[in-house]
Structure 1
Amino acid sequence: MRKRSSVLAALAAAAAVLAAPAAAPAAAGTQAAGPSGTSATRTFTFRGMTLKIPSGWKVHRQKDYAVVVTGACGYPEPFLPGCEGFWVFGGKAITKVPVGGGYVTYTGESQFHPFSGVIQCPFDAEEQWNAADRRVSAGLRQVGRGHRAKYSAWGNTCVTPSGRKTRSFTQREWYLPSSKILVVDVWNTPGLAKALRNAAWR
C-alpha cells in the first residue's frame, strides 16, 4: 500500500465536502464565449497565475494544491487511477516530497510524485507505475507574459504485478521556481499547454 505525504493528508478528511453537490468550485464562475464562439470558458487562479479553461473542467482546491478534473473522475486526488485531469502544486506541496524514506525539495531534476512507496498506474489501479529516470523532452516554456517554466516530459510505463508492460505514458511538468508553481499532467490534456502559454499574471 502506498504511503501518502502530509501534503495529501487533508484530502481524505475533506472527501465528504468535495463529494457534496453543493460544494462550490474553486475557479471563478465567470464564463465567456471561447475562441470559436461555441464553447464557454472560465478562469482558474492559483498563486497569481490565471488560466482560461473550458467551463466543463472542475477545480478542486486543497490548501496549497489543486486538482483540475477534465473528464471522468470518481474522486479528485492527485495520481488517483481513473481521475482524468491535471494537478497544480504550490510551494508547500513541493518542498517536502517523500523519496526513499526521506524528504526532498522538487527542483525539476527528478520526476515528481507527491508520495512514496508503490504508485498505482493512473489508468488501472491493479497495475503499478514504473517511473522513468530520464526525460524524453526538456526546455523552457512560456507561461504568460514575462514567465517561463522549466518544462520536463518523462516517459513511464504501467506494469502488472508480474512485471508485464501494458502501456506507456508521458508525465509532463511545468515548473515555475520563482512563482513556486508546478503543473503536472499524465493525461496529455488537450488545451493545457495553450492555456499555460496564454496565462495572465497579477
Structure 2
Amino acid sequence: MRKSSAVLAALAGAALVAVSMTAPASAAGTSSGSASGTQILTFRGMSLVIPTSWQVYSDANRVKVITGSCAKPVGGYFTPKCDAFWIFGPTVIKSGHEGFNPYTPDRPFYPASDVQPCPLNGKYGQVLGKATATGLRQVGAGHKAYYRSWAGRCIVEGNGRQIATFNQREWYLPQSKILIVDQWNTPTLATALKYADWK
C-alpha cells in the first residue's frame, strides 16, 4: 500500500470556516490499488486509514472528509445536509470559539458569533448545549485527545422550538494542534482515530 502525504494550499485567514475547499485529490492522502478498499489520510503527522468511498477535500489548515450524501461538497463548516467530519489545524483552532477566541475543550467548537444552520436541515438554527461525554481518547500510540460530545439541537429561529437533535463529537490534540469535529456520528471514525499512525 502506497502512502502519500497531503499537500495543502495556503489558507486565507477567516473567523468563520466558510471558504471553498479544493476538489478531492489523490494528494490528500489516498492510496491506490488497495485490495481492502481503504486509503490513507495524512494531516500534520497523523495518518488515518479510511474507506476509499470517503471523499477528501483540503486546504491549508483543514480537511473535510465526506462520508455519505452531501448537498454541497465544497461548502465550508456549517454547510447543512453534508455527512462529513472535519480535521482542523492551528489557524482554525485560534478562532474556534465564536470566531474571536481560541478553541478549548471546555466549550464546543463554534467558529461563528451568530446562530448557524442546523446540520440536518438549513431551514433551522443550531444550538449546542452541555457536554454529554468527556474524557481522554487514544489517537494512535503515544497520543491522547481531549474528547467531548456536545448535545446539539435544531431549533426554529424566533421561538426556539426544537425540531431535531444531533451530537457534536470533538477530539482535541493540543500538542499536535489538531482538532477533529464530527456532527454526524460517523461510523468507524472513532476506530480510525484510535489506530492512527504518527510520524
TM-score normalized by structure 2?
A: 0.85
| Map of 2:143 onto structure 1 | 147
| Map of 1:189 onto structure 2 | 186
Asked if residue 8 in structure 1 is aligned to residue 17 in structure 2, the reply is yes
Superimposed CA distance per residue, residues 72-117 of structure 1 (whole angstroms, 9 cap, x where no aligned partner): 1132322210111100000111012352xx7111121100012221
Superimposed CA distance per residue, residues 23-58 of structure 1 (whole angstroms, 9 cap, x where no aligned partner): 524222334233xxxxx0000000000000000001
Measure, in 1, the Cα distance between the counterparts of 2:131 and 2:72. 29
Sequence identity (%): 41
Measure, in 2, the Cα distance between the counterparts of 1:145 and 1:155. 29
Asked if residue 93 in structure 1 is aligned to residue 89 in structure 2, the reply is no
Alignment of 1:5-84 (within 5 A): 5-6=14-15, 8=17, 11-12=19-20, 18=23, 24-25=25-26, 26-34=28-36, 40-76=37-73, 77-84=76-83
Q: Which amino acid aligns with 1:197?
A: K
Q: Which amino acid aligns with 2:181?
A: V
TM-score normalized by structure 1?
A: 0.84
Where structure 1 has 5 or more consecutive residues not aligned to the other structure, the ranges are 35-39
Measure, in 1, the Cα distance between the counterparts of 2:163 and 2:16. 30
Please say if residues 15 and 100 of structure 2, whose CA atoms lie closer than 8 Å, have aligned partners that are also in contact.
no
Which of 138, 157, 168 matches 2:134? 138
Where structure 2 has 5 or more consecutive residues not aligned to the other structure, the ranges are 1-12
Q: What secondary structure, in the 3-state scheme, does the structure 2 residue paired with 1:193 have?
A: helix
Please say if residues 5 and 115 of structure 1, whose CA atoms lie closer than 8 Å, have aligned partners that are also in contact.
no
Measure, in 1, the Cα distance between the counterparts of 2:97 and 2:83. 24
Higher strand proportion, which one? 1
Report how many residues are paired.
183
